Every structure is written in structure tokens, then in C-alpha cells.
Amino acid sequence: MFDALATLETPTVLGVGLLAAVLLEGATVALRFGLGWTSPEKTGTLARFTRGWRIHHLYPGLVLILVAAVVPMPAALANLAWMFGIMLALSDALHHFAVLWPLTGDHEFDLRYPGFADDAVEDR
């Protein structure tokens, strides 16, 4: 399996990352609008570990992309980092700015969990 990952060309890696992002966003849309789930509601218990800061999956996605670009590693691992990084970063950006903002009027890209004790100032 890793041999096949190592031989993937750049357009394929980017295409897989893009397709995975669209599929992940489709699942997110189904959970949000189909089941009524919201991220702060489902992940709010994490606020005490992050001191109220929301960790959007855009952030680890960007870290993976950066690592894939600058850290020497085997081609298979670099391709996985690129694909997962693109998937995470792009799906979060799509969700907040291409889905939520147009459909609800609010991008909901909150930097802090709503109602957290240190949330005296709106961090948007």
C-alpha cells in the first residue's frame, strides 16, 4: 500500500485531497442540517482543555500541509500528509465560508467557544 502511495503524482494527491474534503464536508452538512448538530454543542466539553479556544480542523490541516512541504520524509508519508492536510483545511474553509455563511448568514468561525468564562469580548 505504501509503495502505491509513494508513486502518486502531484495532481492525483491534490485530487484525492480535494475529493476527500468534499466528502467530509458532505458528511458535515448532513450532521449539521440533517441532525441539527452544531460544533460548539458537540465539542464544547473541550473548551476547558483549550482554555476556551476553538480548534477548527483547518488548523491541523494547515500544519500537515506545512509539514508535508518542508519536512523531509518518505514520499508515501508526504503524500498522506498532503492529502489529509488538504482534506481538513479545505473542508473546514468550505463549511464556514461556502456553506454556513451563505445559508445561515453567519460563518460561525468563532475563535472562542460561545459562553466561555473568558469570552467577554466577541472574538470573530
Is 121 inside any structural domain? no
Quick: pLDDT tens for 34-86.
988 887 777 777 888 888 888 889 999 999 999 999 999 999 999 999 999 99
Phi and psi torsions of 53, nearest 5°: -80, 135
Is 123 inside any structural domain? no
**pTM attached to this predicted model:** 0.82
Is 117 inside any structural domain? no
Is 109 inside any structural domain? no
DSSP β-bridge partners for residue 114: none
Quick: pLDDT tens for 88-105.
999 999 999 998 888 888
pLDDT of residue 118: 52
Q: Does the pLDDT value for residue 15 go beyond 90? A: yes
Residue in the block written with cell 464544547? 44
Rounded (10°) CA dihedral 35, 49, 56, 76: -110
Q: How far is CA 19 from CA 39, 74, 117, in A?
A: 22, 23, 39
Per the structure, the complete domain to which residue 9 belongs is given by: 2-104
Is 114 inside any structural domain? no
The residues, ordered by sequence, that sit 6+ positions from 124 with a Cβ below 8 Å of its Cβ are 109, 110, 111
Count of domains observed in the chain: 1
